[in-house]
Amino acid sequence: MMNKRIILPAVVFVVLAGLFSACSTGLKPLAANYIKAEPQPLELVAGKVPVTINATFPAKWFNKKATLVVTPVLRYDGGEAWGTSYTYQGEKVAGNGQVIPQATGANATLTSNFDYIPAMQSSELYLTFTAKVGNKEVPLPEIKIGDGVLATAALLNAASEAPATAPDKFQRIIKDAYNSDIMFLIQQAELRSSELKKTELSDWKNTVVNANQAPNQKVNVEISAYASPDGGLELNEKLAGKREANTDKFLKQELAKAKAEVPVSAHYTAQDWAGFKELVEKSTIQDKNLILSVLSMYTDSEQREREIKNISAVFSVLADEILPQLRRARLTANIETIGKSDEEISALAASSPKSLTIEELLYAGSIATTQATKEAIYKSITQIYPNDYRAFNNLGACEFQSGKIAAAEANFNKALSLSENAPETNLNLGLAALTKSDLSKAQQFFGKAVGENGLSTAQGLIAVSNGNYSQAVSAFGSTASNNAALAQLLTKDYSKALATLNAVKTPDATTSYLKAIIASRTNNSNDVVANLKKAIQLDPSLAKKAATDLEFVKYLTSTDFINIIK
């Protein structure tokens, strides 16, 4: 009878040899039920994949002369990442490892943090062993203890947030007031020719007439006549009234000569205590604080006048320097200049940008209806007004929203060189830093963006990046964005997250993908399919992501799901 030879694969011999060798030294392969990894599945948090492994070395398992090095390793397509190694030793080994009593065994806890890369989404976690008994190496097989990484937090996208735009100071209607004073002698109301021939008054009248004739201006005139506080209330009432009447008559005659139909209103103040106080405050008169205290202590005009006159040391100075300035009629021309319409500004910004002021050009950029038009306007501003940071900041903001992050960052840096404390630019550079996961740099920039409207949103991005999800929810507040909804989802507030996504003004592929995740976590298979379908239509690359996303692992056998991700 012919002898039959049993041929086994080489690998089987190797494994069996390892097992026999292990048995001969008292170290056996550690059963998987003695090891538990948390969390399951692994999850991305703050750019890391943390894992805590609880292992039990059973009684009689550990050789007294053995040394065991245990290391977790996360393997993924194209590479692997090694975690922290832990050393354990028997009772007769001299070393620094944790001693495992042979008789009773012991528990051990191993923690590791893997630096996350997207390929880890589809991965396997193993526990590897390097063992020796004395000087003899003992092969122990590695043990698989986990599958994949839940990477939902990686959906955070700083580039999707709106950057800050530096504001313009454009005013459609500019209001200006031009003043001229006609002075009077003490206790007189007659208009003196010396006052009426002053260059100041002539220039003021020309301003009024020119504004009345200008097609883009409106003007009205106000006359405010005054008497100084000295002399008694009854006298000053009559005096101030006459000054008002005489000035009003004169001004209307002058406007009629110039054929300027300008509305004129007039009123008088019998005793100009407010003007008196203002002039005293600005003066260098000795004991002015004493005078001001009298004004604050007494409200009756006559008593005020008596008390001030009692301060004989300074009253003569008041009579010479302060009171004469209060015997006047103030003429105020209120002029409104009406600026160009939106249509005019937009047309000139395209055809003749140099004909516009920088405020008009910045305003033109703010009302432009397309990103291309905005960029063109802001580029022209950087050429015409190269020293104004706002143009570079706003050009960078346009580029950031168009996904041209490198170009945007260059313009933000240029803006910062022109105004290093500009809050808008510091906020935007922080956002740019976050797109490169540079949290430290981002926080430095955000620290200089105090007062900027988008700062709370930026702090929300930082909080999510650091794994502080509840803090992120508070920072985002009522903001309706994908990132705000992601923070709510990560705190497991699914109803709030879905409401936020439904309120997003311009939903995109990520909006639908997040809705699909919420549907999966709340066991709504129909919405999983519907939202994933919409997300993949908007961004076909999401089909490959969904196929390996542990959020959808329970749907991998669903025909509808499979048809979507093909």
Q: How confident is the model at residue 25 (pLDDT cuts 50, 70, 90)?
A: low
Which of 133-137, 228-232, 281-285, 512-516 bottoms out in mean pLDDT, i.e. has the lowest? 228-232
150-to-35, 122, 465 alpha-carbon distances in Å: 21, 9, 15
Question: According to the model, what pLDDT value does residue 232 have?
Answer: 80
Measured distance CA(453)–CA(426) in Å, rounded:
12
Do 78 and 116 form a contact (C-beta atoms < 8 A)? no
Higher pLDDT, 287 or 177: 177
Do 447 and 425 form a contact (C-beta atoms < 8 A)? no
pLDDT beyond 60 at 412 = yes
What is 487-514 written as a DSSP string?
Answer: HHHHTT-HHHHHHHHHT-SS--HHHHHH
pLDDT beyond 50 at 20 = no
pLDDT beyond 70 at 24 = no
Of the chain, the percentage scoring pLDDT greater than 70 comes to: 95
Residues 6+ apart with CB under 8 A from 533: 564
Residues 283-323 have pLDDT tens digits of 888 888 888 888 888 888 888 888 888 775 677 788 888 99
Question: According to the model, what pLDDT value does residue 233 have?
Answer: 86
Do 159 and 400 form a contact (C-beta atoms < 8 A)? yes
Do 164 and 401 form a contact (C-beta atoms < 8 A)? no
Residues 63-105 have pLDDT tens digits of 999 999 999 999 999 999 999 999 999 999 999 999 999 999 9
Question: According to the model, what pLDDT value does residue 320 have?
Answer: 86
Measured distance CA(459)–CA(474) in Å, rounded:
10
3-state SS of 397-465 is HHHHHCCCHHHHHHHHHHHHHHCCCCHHHHHHHHHHHHHCCCHHHHHHHHCCCCCCCCHHHHHHHHHHH
Q: What is the mean pLDDT of residues 236-252?
A: 96
Q: What is the mean pLDDT of residues 451-462?
A: 95
Residues 484-540 have pLDDT tens digits of 999 999 999 999 999 999 999 999 999 999 999 999 999 999 999 999 999 999 999
Question: According to the model, what pLDDT value does residue 312 have?
Answer: 59
pLDDT beyond 80 at 177 = yes
Q: What is the mean pLDDT of the chain?
A: 92
Question: According to the model, what pLDDT value does residue 303 have?
Answer: 86
Of the chain, the percentage scoring pLDDT greater than 90 comes to: 84
Q: Cite the DSSP H helix spans in 231-370.
A: 233-257, 273-282, 288-297, 301-310, 312-317, 342-351, 358-367
Q: What is the mean pLDDT of residues 551-566?
A: 93
Q: How confident is the model at residue 1 (pLDDT cuts 50, 70, 90)?
A: very low
Angle between helices 509-521 and 482-490 (to 10 degrees): 20
pLDDT beyond 80 at 180 = yes
3-state secondary structure of 194: helix
Q: How confident is the model at residue 8 (pLDDT cuts 50, 70, 90)?
A: very low
Nearest to 27 by CA among 56, 2, 64: 64
pLDDT beyond 90 at 11 = no
Residues 468-481 have pLDDT tens digits of 999 999 999 999 99
Domains of the chain: residue spans and CATH? 10-150 (2.60.40.10), 173-338 (3.30.1330.60), 388-565 (1.25.40.10)
Q: How confident is the model at residue 433 (pLDDT cuts 50, 70, 90)?
A: very high
The first and second tokens of residue 131, run together, are: 């063992």
Do 439 and 462 form a contact (C-beta atoms < 8 A)? yes
pLDDT beyond 70 at 14 = no
Question: According to the model, what pLDDT value does residue 308 have?
Answer: 80
